[in-house]
A and B are shown apart, each in its own frame.
Chain A
Amino acid sequence: MKSRNVLNIIIGIVFSLLIVTFTLIGMYDTKGKTQIISSAQDIKTGLDISGGISAVYKPDIEGNVSDEDMAKAKNIIRKRLDNKNLFDANVKVDLNNGWVEVEIPDETNPDEALSNLGQTAKLEFRDPDGNVIVDGSNIISAKEQQIQSEMGTYQEVVSLNFNEEGRQKFSQATENLVGRSISIYLDDALISAPVVNEPITTGNAVISMGSSDLTEAKKEATELASLIDSGALPFGLSVVSSQYIGPTVGSKALDISIKAALIGTILVMIYMICIYKLPGVVSSISLVTYIGIVLLLLSNMGITLTLPGIAGIILSIGMAVDANIVIFERIKEELMLGKSIQKSVNLGFKNATSSIVDANITTAIAAVALYVFGIGTVKGFGIVLLIGVIISMITAIFFTRFMLKNFSAIFNKNVKLYGGKANG
């Protein structure tokens, strides 16, 4: 009987060690190349910690916007960010509020990163009468190019490729308009009005940049190409909020929070062991396991951690310890009533479970409401709290009970070990 308990305890401790290891360094597959389990270091930190840019855009039109259009807008913005080599950027659509949220972590140049991001970029080629010949939907691709003109000077242009329909239309139009000009409009503003020298049947066209400074022109060309290439947004976007947070601001706060959390946890463990002795030791193992599981979940579920999120974690750690305290106090009471150690442990868990479940479910309800109805920090806080509460319930009800039951089967003579007073 007792050897079985020892085995169980060893299994429990091994489990804890595994969790801690994964939390610290994650897990890689057998070849050591792909990471299967992300570690705590892989947790995404919010802008308030890592610094970066965040912008929220709202469509410029009255009434509701279709989910389709929002998805389109998201893809277009994503493409524009990629064209700027901002691959770490995050684009999200909030359908409830009709917003597009853009987050660019670690970016130190907000003005460049956000420039033109929300521009509609409606491109139109019009004939002298104002009729639209071709527009952005006829363009397959656009890119920046440097070409040499016949006179030998270099010029920055945006080179466009039309689709078949566009090629035909453009070919016909240029045939009819030799010697006259075709005006190119971007968002109803004229950007170029070249004269047609000969019919263009290749389906290619160039827009030359006005700037004489080649570097300046190259920048313009790259931006314009990116805008055209990503396509026109179904609507204009205006900025609802934008933030640029310097990276040094938050990282120190994160540092301090981690140190404080570590010291706090150690102090709590010491306190628990002093007051509850053996169960205190068990709860300390539980606590470490709990923190590990929460961090692993946050990391592997890709949840972004913000400073308020850290508060949520600290709160749920407090509640996890609380669950243990409720249980241990019950055990002490049962012991004082003269019951055997093992019986006290069982009764303690049994009686305490209902109050722990009630309390945690109530908090979980609040967390869900926050997650569903909240925006921004409130939402992030909600999910972290929810995870913390659920895991703390599971850890207390299963892991702590498992370990303590097995410990108590072995150390079942000395009441003092459980914080009780020796009955005299």
Chain B
Amino acid sequence: MDKIFKNVNFIKNSNKYMIVSLTIIAIGIIFLFINGFNLDIDFTGGTAIEANLGVDFTEQEIIDLVKEVTSKMPTVQKSGEDGKGVIINFTEIEEDTVISLKAKIKEKYEHSSDASTRTILATYGTELKKSVFIAITVAVIAMIIYISIRFSKLGGLSSAITAIVGLVHNVLIMISVYIIFRIPINSAFIAAILTIIGYSINDTIILYDRIRENREDRAANKKQTLEELVNNTIKQVLKRTVNTTVTSAVTVAILLGFSIYFSQKTLVEFTFPLLIGLISGTYASICIATPLWYRWQTKNKKG
């Protein structure tokens, strides 16, 4: 491990790393204009009826069936490993209509499974969005305060902000993944993002802690420039970082593998972004947040 990275100067190459990240995020933004967010009814409100019909069908069949019961226009999607599952989405529909619709489905497709239904009022979706924003904002502010205090020797606020920048980077990369692959944005999405926020901040702090410690030892190593110090610290911590990522990523990757094998769509949609987030998290701690902190420090010193 040491030998592979021996000659890598993380600080000097930080521009390259940032370009890579920005490219991914830029692709995400482009796709955003093409595809838009695939917002689930958790956020937009509406009704989703899901069932496995037990036979093959065409979307037109379903639309015709819906027309028999209501004039509301649905969006129809096929799902499931056998392609016999259907997801019918409405932006707004009454409870009675849902009941009649379910009955009609059971009538026409005798072997269909019990339909799952979800009705979310648009206001609930807004509440959900609001609560997520508030929760994350409070969390971020609290983290900034804590990090600033604990790492005051590392410039306090600068360390906090660069750590948060690393975090934002991970979230943006993850969101790009969701957009590029058209993964539905629902409650599971929130859970995945939160998981990565918790995880990547963990990572970054371990790195900063080491820098802080090495800095204190610096009295003995006066020969080292800050750049060398940071680079060496990163290499010291590298083994641990890689091992940690491997262990966490392996568990998630296994879950992802199982989910793909058993065609558990919801699980796949949950674990895939999670895996990307984990890898991106490690990458960001080393290649984005820390070099950024270094720049902030040197800029202030020289300026």
A residues near B (Cβ < 8 Å) are 56, 97, 108, 110-111, 239-246, 248-249, 252-253, 256-257, 259-261, 263-265, 267-268, 271-272, 275, 307-308, 311-312, 314-315, 317-319, 321-322, 325-326, 329, 333, 351, 354-356, 358-363, 365-370, 372-378, 381-382, 385, 389
* One of A354, A369, A372, A374 near B209 (C-beta < 8 A): A354
- Majority SS of interface residues in chain B? helix
A-facing mask of B195-214, CB < 8 A → 1, else 0?
Answer: 10111011101100110010
Residue B152 CB within 8 A of the other chain: no
**Alpha-carbon distance between A360 and B203 when the two chains are bound, in angstroms:** 10
A246–B254 touching, CB < 8 Å: no
A-facing mask of B23-55, CB < 8 A → 1, else 0?
Answer: 000000000000000000000000000000000
**Alpha-carbon distance between A358 and B208 when the two chains are bound, in angstroms:** 10
A366–B143 touching, CB < 8 Å: yes
* A219 nearest CB across to chain B (Å): 16
B248: chain A residues within 8 A (beta carbon): 314-315, 318-319, 321-322
**Alpha-carbon distance between A370 and B198 when the two chains are bound, in angstroms:** 11
Q: Which residue of A lies closest to B48 (CB)?
A: A243
B142–A365 touching, CB < 8 Å: yes
B139–A365 touching, CB < 8 Å: yes
Known A244-B118, A256-B264; contact A355-B210, beta-carbon cutoff 8 A? yes
Q: List 14 A-B contacts (CB under 8 A).
A: A241-B120, A253-B264, A257-B255, A264-B250, A271-B250, A317-B251, A322-B202, A322-B248, A325-B247, A329-B239, A354-B209, A359-B201, A363-B198, A370-B139
A308–B206 touching, CB < 8 Å: no
B residues near A (Cβ < 8 Å) are 95, 99, 113-121, 123-124, 127-128, 131-132, 134-136, 138-139, 142-143, 146-147, 150, 187-188, 190-192, 194-195, 197-199, 201-203, 205-206, 209-210, 213, 236, 239-240, 243-244, 246-248, 250-252, 254-255, 257-259, 262, 264, 266-267, 270, 274
Q: Which 8 A-B pairs rank lowest in CB-CB distance, beginning with the nearest?
A: A308-B191, A264-B251, A318-B248, A355-B209, A369-B139, A373-B135, A260-B255, A366-B139
A366–B247 touching, CB < 8 Å: no
Known A56-B124, A256-B259, A362-B146; contact A261-B251, beta-carbon cutoff 8 A? yes
Q: Which residue of A lies closest to B205 (CB)?
A: A359
A110: chain B residues within 8 A (beta carbon): 117
* A311 nearest CB across to chain B (Å): 5
A358: chain B residues within 8 A (beta carbon): 150, 205, 209
* A39 nearest CB across to chain B (Å): 23
**Alpha-carbon distance between A381 and B136 when the two chains are bound, in angstroms:** 13
**Alpha-carbon distance between A112 and B211 when the two chains are bound, in angstroms:** 62
**Alpha-carbon distance between A259 and B255 when the two chains are bound, in angstroms:** 8
A325–B250 touching, CB < 8 Å: no
B116–A246 touching, CB < 8 Å: yes
**Alpha-carbon distance between A94 and B133 when the two chains are bound, in angstroms:** 19
Q: Which residue of A lies closest to B186 (CB)?
A: A377
B121–A241 touching, CB < 8 Å: yes
B274: chain A residues within 8 A (beta carbon): 311
A318: chain B residues within 8 A (beta carbon): 199, 244, 247-248, 251
* One of B121, B135, B243 near A240 (C-beta < 8 A): B121
A359–B206 touching, CB < 8 Å: yes
B188–A307 touching, CB < 8 Å: yes
**Alpha-carbon distance between A368 and B135 when the two chains are bound, in angstroms:** 9
Known A239-B121, A260-B255; contact A252-B262, beta-carbon cutoff 8 A? yes
**Alpha-carbon distance between A367 and B188 when the two chains are bound, in angstroms:** 16
A365–B146 touching, CB < 8 Å: yes
Query: Given A315-B195, A369-B136, list of 8 further CB < 8 A pairs?
Result: A97-B127, A253-B259, A312-B191, A318-B247, A318-B248, A319-B198, A325-B247, A378-B135
B188: chain A residues within 8 A (beta carbon): 307-308, 377
B119–A242 touching, CB < 8 Å: yes
* One of A275, A312, A374 near B195 (C-beta < 8 A): A312
B254: chain A residues within 8 A (beta carbon): 260, 263-264, 267
A311–B192 touching, CB < 8 Å: yes
A377: chain B residues within 8 A (beta carbon): 187-188, 190-191
**Alpha-carbon distance between A362 and B151 when the two chains are bound, in angstroms:** 12
B136: chain A residues within 8 A (beta carbon): 369-370
* B268 nearest CB across to chain A (Å): 10
A378–B143 touching, CB < 8 Å: no
* One of B244, B255, B266 near A325 (C-beta < 8 A): B244
**Alpha-carbon distance between A315 and B116 when the two chains are bound, in angstroms:** 29
- Majority SS of interface residues in chain A? helix
Q: Which of B128, B251, B274 has the most CB of A within 10 A?
A: B251
* One of A243, A267, A369 near B138 (C-beta < 8 A): A369
B205: chain A residues within 8 A (beta carbon): 355, 358-359, 362
A253: chain B residues within 8 A (beta carbon): 259, 264, 266-267
B123: chain A residues within 8 A (beta carbon): 240
**Alpha-carbon distance between A318 and B120 when the two chains are bound, in angstroms:** 34
**Alpha-carbon distance between A382 and B135 when the two chains are bound, in angstroms:** 10
**Alpha-carbon distance between A150 and B247 when the two chains are bound, in angstroms:** 80
* One of A311, A366, A374 near B270 (C-beta < 8 A): A311
B240: chain A residues within 8 A (beta carbon): 322, 325-326, 329
**Alpha-carbon distance between A26 and B136 when the two chains are bound, in angstroms:** 37
A385–B128 touching, CB < 8 Å: no
B202–A381 touching, CB < 8 Å: no
Q: Which residue of A lies closest to B263 (CB)?
A: A252
**Alpha-carbon distance between A145 and B19 when the two chains are bound, in angstroms:** 77
B134: chain A residues within 8 A (beta carbon): 373
**Alpha-carbon distance between A244 and B166 when the two chains are bound, in angstroms:** 39
**Alpha-carbon distance between A56 and B127 when the two chains are bound, in angstroms:** 12
B146–A381 touching, CB < 8 Å: no
A367: chain B residues within 8 A (beta carbon): 198
* One of A240, A243, A256 near B118 (C-beta < 8 A): A243
B206–A355 touching, CB < 8 Å: yes
Known A252-B264, A366-B198; contact A321-B247, beta-carbon cutoff 8 A? yes
B213–A351 touching, CB < 8 Å: yes
B143–A311 touching, CB < 8 Å: no
* B99 nearest CB across to chain A (Å): 6
A241–B119 touching, CB < 8 Å: yes
B257: chain A residues within 8 A (beta carbon): 260
Known A244-B117, A246-B115, A326-B240; contact A370-B202, beta-carbon cutoff 8 A? no
Q: Which residue of B lies closest to A371 (CB)?
A: B135
A241: chain B residues within 8 A (beta carbon): 118-121, 124
